Amino acid sequence: MPAVAETLNTVESLTQSSYKWGFETDIEMDLAPKGLSEDTIRLISARKEEPDWLLAWRLKAYAAWQTMQAPGWGKIGHPPIDFQDVHYYAAPKKKPGPKSLDEVDPELLAVYEKLGIPLKERAMLAGVEVPDGGEADGRDGRPQIAVDAVFDSVSVATTFRSTLAKAGVIFCPISEAVREHPDLVRQYLGSVVPAADNFYAALNSAVFTDGSFVFIPKGVKCPMELSTYFRINAKNTGQFERTLIIAEDGASVSYLEGCTAPMRDENQLHAAVVELVAMDDASIKYSTVQNWYPGDANGKGGIYNFVTKRGACRGARSKISWTQVETGSAITWKYPSCILQGEGSVGEFYSVAVTNNHQQADTGTKMLHIGRNTRSTIVAKTISAGRSDSTYRGLVRVMPKASGARNFTQCDSLLIGDQCGAHTVPYIENRNMTAKTEHEATTSKISEDQLFYCRSRGLSEEDAVGMIVNGFCKDVLKELPMEFAVEAQKLLQVSLEGSVG
């Protein structure tokens, strides 16, 4: 049997077993009734003890959403989504704060363990009180990472808060920020992605439940990586998180989100909004390792992932860098974008999108050059296997005032087998004579030569594929924070276990 056919078989046999995050957790839940209405929104807002302005904002978004249609331009297909068949709020039931790990719901701890969160952070995530200063020891020599865990609709806990507070950094659940820092939230929420920006953003604005809030004040370099783990657990729930990151003049931060979900036969909806704001000389590095459940080998189940991510480079010389490794979800629809307004501001997009079996991904970026001498770089690696379909969709728009703007775009597709598809849809609109855009695109297959070469050196088929795929993605993986690059490499290998040609 030629390697291609054999590999495809191996992929089929492995996929069902290879999603090791597919566990379900039996935790007592506080669940809103199914369905979407003004009442649902009032209930969410009340549960979160929100101020009136936010409720009004949500209701306005809902009114807008009702007049909107789901976008039809993506190269994705799915049956119509019944928005009334979804729970819009699900929260683990609150119990009095535990004193030690022994008092914590073991199910919750098991979840953290499976998510790969280190023990000390697991304790903090579970709300175990840590004596002051105790959170900041780095004895095990690992780089410190502050973690926020969002479980269905609520943020469960955030670690390292006092260390961060000493540096003036705010890192907390957005629902808490609404209470504790209302002026900041009110100033920035919806300022990058307006409530009625698009169908899924409007839905998110109406019903968002939690997410992370990050504020880095003037001149502060965030002393550690910030990270949020998202987890959809409850049945028939949607997850609508909202993330807002603000870096004031000269501030910088690196933030990573990871996400997983149980294996379920029905599709689940995830519609998030992420807004980034970078002022003069500020820089935000936003990395994603997206590993939502992709559905089984026959295309049953999996997360519908409709996400709006946008960063505003408002200040001069500001920089926003998106890095994403997208291996999960039945459907991925997301285009992390940069609005390059500040003079000399820089936008970057580094992406690896892997699809296998029946997964569909339509992902890319938008770089909007408004200010002078703005620069953007796009490196998109698309890997398709099985019967999956993957599209890179990118827009580079240079406005008339963006003199001296530069864009470089590199799109590479790697096909594994001959039943998958990869498409590249680059739009370039240049309205300034002095601006330069460059676009390069390649499509290749993993060759039998490469596979055989690796295997003749003793590598198993999986390792050989992993090696070649990781080589293909290297330009993107090297943009990830060190600790996550390794995790991402393993994830790529698991997602493609067995595949190639």
Partner 1 sequence: MSAFLSIAGLHASIDDNGTRKPILNGVDLDVPAGEVHAIMGPNGSGKSTLSYVLAGREDYEVTAGTALFKGEDLLAMEPDARAAAGVFLAFQAPVELPGVNNANFLRTAVNAVRRARGEAEMDSMQFLKAARAQARALSMPEDLLKRNVNVGFSGGEKKRNEVLQMALLGPSLAILDETDSGLDIDALRIVAEGVKALRSPSFSALVITHHQRLLDYLVPDRVHVMARGRILRSGGPELAHQLEAQGYAGFLAEAA
Using CB under 8 A, which of 26, 137, 449, 482 touches partner 1?
449
Residue among 251 and 414 whose Cβ is closer to partner 1: 414
**Considering the rule CB under 8 A, would residue 456 count as an interface residue with partner 1?**
yes
Minimum CB separation of residue 125 from partner 1 in Å reads 32
235 interacts with partner 1 by CB under 8 A: no
Which residue stretch of 299-307, 346-354, 364-372, 456-464 sits at the interface with partner 1 (rule: CB under 8 A)? Answer: 456-464
User: Directed axis angle between helix 3-18 and helix 461-477, to 10°?
Assistant: 80
Q: How far is the CB of 440 from partner 1 (least distance, A)?
A: 14
Instruction: Determine how many CB atoms are found less than 10 A away from the CB of residue 146.
Output: 24
CA gap 365, 353 in Å, rounded = 12
Closest approach of Cβ 5 to partner 1, in Å?
A: 10
Distance set, CA 188 to CA 10, 85, 90, 165, 300 (Å): 49, 32, 26, 20, 39
The residue among 1 and 433 lying less far from partner 1, judged by its C-beta, is 1
Region for residue 49 given its phi and psi (left: phi exceeds 0; alpha: psi -120 to 50; beta: otherwise): left
Residue closer to partner 1, measured from CB, 53 or 452: 452
Give the SS3 label for residue 98.
coil
Region binding partner 1 by CB under 8 A among candidate stretches 137-145, 332-340, 391-399, 441-449: 441-449
CB 447, min distance to partner 1, A: 8
Q: Should residue 141 be labelled a site residue for partner 1 when binding is judged by CB under 8 A? A: no
Task: Look at strands 145-151 and 154-158 and give their pairing.
Answer: antiparallel
Q: How far is it, in rounded angstroms, from Cα 86 to Cα 269?
A: 8
Tokens of 222: 């965030």
Binding segment for partner 1 (CB under 8 A), chosen from 27-35, 113-121, 232-240, 458-466, is: 458-466
By CB under 8 A, name the one of 472, 481, 492, 497 that touches partner 1: 472
Judged by beta carbon, residue 18 or residue 470, the one nearer partner 1 is 470
Nearer to partner 1, 80 or 458 (CB): 458
Query: Which residues pair with residue 228 across a beta bridge?
Result: 148, 257
Min CB(477)–partner 1 separation in Å: 9
419: contact with partner 1 by CB under 8 A: no
The residues near 325 (Cβ < 8 Å, ≥ 6 apart) are: 288, 289, 290, 351, 352, 354, 473, 476, 477, 480, 488, 491, 492
CA distance readout (Å), 386 to 191, 325, 487: 40, 19, 23
Question: Is residue 18 a contact point for partner 1 (CB under 8 A)?
Answer: no
Kindly state whether residue 455 participates in binding partner 1, applying the rule CB under 8 A. Answer: yes
Binding of partner 1 at residue 1 (CB under 8 A)?
yes
Alpha-carbon span 376 to 96, nearest angstrom: 49
Chosen residue from 99, 471, 483, 490 binding partner 1 by CB under 8 A:
471
* Contacting positions for partner 1 (CB under 8 A): 1-3, 6, 447-450, 452-461, 463, 467-468, 470-475
